A and B are shown apart, each in its own frame.
Chain A
């Protein structure tokens, strides 16, 4: 697997609270842009991967874009936990000869569509009987519960969470494609914002976005002939820890050790690099507390030190670990973390709107707090 495949094309639609086109049309636009970016004809696509929550299936996408005969297709579960795994599955398929040109994508109208947690007739992928009758209804409530415990155990404060929100917002303010491009954030705005689920306020929560993204994966050999500088999939991992319970991970000895720890163990085991080698990170940020938890899980600091890690501008450009340089889910767009993958590619091409000088390695992670996945990309 190591460096055997590369991301050679990326594409995206605009991001907005409301886009007029259907999720299917948005998916097709993002995919065709990614293929054009790569210089690969749609008829050469023979593999697809997306999320189980993706509404448009491979049949619709393949016939719309004019794909060829498809020999590999895969869907990954657990919402935002599946983002990096879409690329990982295609990398594995290409590396093992099951396909030659893979497309991963996510299209979502979360901005103008329904709120998933409002659907009371459908069992969400949580043990809902144990949580929802008590008013623990939304992901923000479920993660808020872990967040307060984390703050209690390690002395983390709202200022630490603000550091995360601010770093993402500052990068979005550099990115004209970001929904929060022209909307700076101040500490006063953060500290006086309305609660969503105390201890989490408005700015601890990701955006609601309509939009789609896609990327193209081919073998390293093929990548050298493509239009863009290849970004190699150096390592990839999924993580479902023993006795894990999804976002309501309250029923094991240590609920604060989440899927990131499991994915990280495999990721670093198969990589030639270690956390200290990472130049820039795109860490899944549906909620600010996921950042300190992930910083610990992926080994950037010790257990309990994730909040303190955010101090002193560590997550800003020029800091110890520049974070979510497009603005992330908190301030660019929330498309189940796929924008983090494409931003990782941009950093390693040297084309980010908040470029980290000479970045050659980027960690991209999927949702922490649910069965997750991660990619270690290098140029």
Chain B
């Protein structure tokens, strides 16, 4: 929510200059945010720490649901399990955030944030980042490579704070 009082046209970015900063440090000085799990979400992060992408499923009616919640919106059962996904999906949409941003993200801007729809359940979509390798920076992929519908596969990145977040690699880089 920027203010047009601050003037315009002085800081024009195009898609082509929006890719990897050649001098971007591998590990930015300011930390990125770590997930703050709630009770319902905690298992998701426990599984990512084991390198598994799992989604909550109702054991009564079999419906997958995300984000996780205490009971099934279809059959109201409180019984659920965490079902392993193939880790394959397609890009549903994406943005390239530019400043003003929190410091750790501003250092990497413009970077990509994407929404991936899972191959098994297209209505289940995960927000993430498209990267060139699991530990690469959020701005490591050339923006020109991003397109809606592009097939992607999951990878797991261990953060400095000790959590593991899913990231996404292009199936055909």
Contacts and interface: CB of A to CB of B under 8 A. Distances in A.
A317 interface: no
Given A141-B95, A145-B113, 8 more contacts: A130-B126, A135-B111, A137-B105, A193-B8, A194-B10, A195-B98, A196-B98, A252-B123
A183 B2 CA distance: 16
Interface string B105-121: 10010110101000000
B59 interface: no
B156 to A, nearest CB: 13
B136 interface: no
Contacts of B70: none
A123 B24 CA distance: 29
B67 A130 contact: yes
Contacts of B95: 136, 141, 144-145, 148, 197-200
Report, as a range, how many residues of chain A touch the other chain: 35 or more
B93 A148 contact: yes
7 contacts: A128-B36, A130-B127, A133-B35, A134-B127, A194-B11, A196-B2, A207-B3
A286 B15 CA distance: 24
A135 B36 CA distance: 14
Given A120-B102, A183-B4, A129 B148 contact: no
Contacts of A118: 102
A208 B115 contact: no
B4 A251 contact: no
Contacts of A206: 1
A197 B12 contact: no
A192 B11 CA distance: 9
A111 B36 contact: no
Contacts of B93: 145-146, 148-149, 152
Counting from the closest, the 4 A-B pairs by CB-CB distance are A198-B96, A149-B93, A144-B95, A208-B3
Contact of A130 (B32, B41, B105): B41
Contacts of A138: 1, 97, 101
Main SS at interface, chain A: loop
Interface residues of B, number: 52
A133 B157 CA distance: 12
A179 interface: yes
Interface in A183-211: 183, 189, 192-200, 202-203, 205-208
Interface in B115-142: 115, 123-129, 138
B82 interface: no
B38 interface: yes
Contacts of A193: 8-9, 12
A245 interface: yes
Contacts of A130: 35, 41, 67, 126-127
B148 A149 contact: yes
Interface string B21-53: 000000000001111111001000100000000
A132 interface: yes
Contacts of A141: 95, 97, 113
Contacts of A196: 2, 97-98
A145 B115 contact: yes
B32 A133 contact: yes
B148 A148 contact: yes
A68 interface: no
A96 interface: no
